[in-house]
Each structure stands twice: as C-alpha cells, then as structure tokens.
Amino acid sequence: MNQKQQEDLSHIRSMMERSSRFISLSGLSGVFAGLSALIGGLYAYQLFEANGISYLDGNSYQDNSDLVRKLFFTASIVLFSALTFGTFFTWRKSRKYNLPIWTTATKNMLFNLGIPLCVGAVFCLALLSYKSYFLIAPSTLLFYGLALINAEKYTFSDIKYLGFCELVLGCISLFYLEYGLIFWIIGFGLLHILYGIMMFKKYK
C-alpha cells in the first residue's frame, strides 16, 4: 500500500470517527469540573464543621434542615459550574478544530449519558425525602459511573475508565458511609482533574 492510499484510509477513518463519535470534548472540561467539585466538597466539609458536626465521626445531621439546604445549594452550584466549563471548553475546541458540535453522535451521547443520570437524580431525591443523606454520595458516584460507561460508545473510549473508577469508589463508599464526602471529593474532584489532564495531553 503506497503513501497516498494510506493517507486516504486515514482520512476516511477520521471522517467516520467524526460522524459516529462526539470528539469535541476537551480535557480542560474535566480539569475545571474537578476543580469545581474539589472546592465545593471542601466547602461542604467546612459547613459541617461550622455547624458543630464532625463528619468523619459519622454523626447524624438529618434533623439539621438548614444545613441540608446549604449542601443542596452547594451541590447545585458545583453542577452549574461544571456544566458551564464543559460547555465553554467544548465550544472552544470545536471552534479551534472546525468541528460540528450538535450532531447525531452528540445527541446519542447525551441520550445515553442522560438516562442513568436522570434515574440517579430521581433516586437521590427519594433518598433526600426519606432523610437517607449518607447514601446520597455513593449513589451519585454509582449512577455517574454507569452514565459514563453507557455513553462511551459515542465519544472517546477513554471515558469508560473514568466510569469504572467512579463505580469502584461508589461501591467502596457504600460500606464506609461516614466517609461519603471524602469519596465524593475523590471521585468528582481528583479523578476528574487527573482524567482531564490525561485527555488534554492525549488529544490536544
């Protein structure tokens, strides 16, 4: 096979990948999403301390409705920040490399990502209503891990490794509920940062 044929095959493979996979994801999205989660998790820990609760001692805080509202608000801010950074860096990468954002692959990825996330959100709201607060952190890790694995076929395959790591952390966290916040910080904070750096170096 001559060089011209090899170049043609590489071009065809590139076109097929662009049409079947969402490749505009930026590693910087993961880094900044992780930083948002890290800051939010540390702030949540400070909220426990400010309310006289030593989280690592496993003390119950189910009757402290004011603290629960603050934690819910903090989680909402973290989610909003992560989505904002993700959207911005994805848009920036697609513009830099002249890649379309809203394609069939994008829709498929969001659909497959969204199903476990929506089910997980409903499940966590149910836990919240029943005041089973200590189960929320591991549940978010588990459903997020499932979502990443489910969406892997429509974006970079590397994302499934992050999904498996989230699942492992979530499973371990189920048996150490008093450390749920620590596992959450590791899963959504540190792992996202490490994954984002690796993706940025690999696909920059």
Instruction: At 83, list the tokens.
Output: 């989505």
Count of positions (residues) in the chain: 204
Query: From CA 141, how far away is CA 188, in angstroms rounded?
Result: 8
Sign, Cα dihedral of 124, 127, 131, 135 = negative
Location of structure tokens 């089973």? 132
Of 56, 33, 4, 67, the residue nearest 197 (C-alpha): 33
Over residues 1-19, mean pLDDT: 46
Q: How far is CA 152 from CA 19, 101, 105, 116, 148, in A?
A: 15, 17, 11, 13, 6
Residue-level pLDDT at 7: 47
Q: What is the pLDDT of residues 115-137, one digit of tens each?
A: 999 999 999 999 999 988 889 99
Q: What is the pLDDT of residues 134-181, one digit of tens each?
A: 899 999 999 999 999 998 888 777 889 999 999 999 999 999 988 899
Query: From CA 19, how far away is CA 17, in angstroms rounded?
Result: 5
- Average pLDDT value for the chain: 82
Over residues 27-35, mean pLDDT: 87
Containing 93, the helix (H) or strand (E) segment is helix 65-96
Q: Please return the burial class of 138, using the count of CB atoms within 10 Å of its CB with bins 0-12, 13-18 and 19+.
A: buried
Query: From CA 188, how far away is CA 161, in angstroms rounded?
Result: 14
Q: What is the pLDDT of residues 86-125, one digit of tens each?
A: 888 878 877 777 777 777 877 888 899 899 999 999 999 9
- pTM for the model stands at 0.81
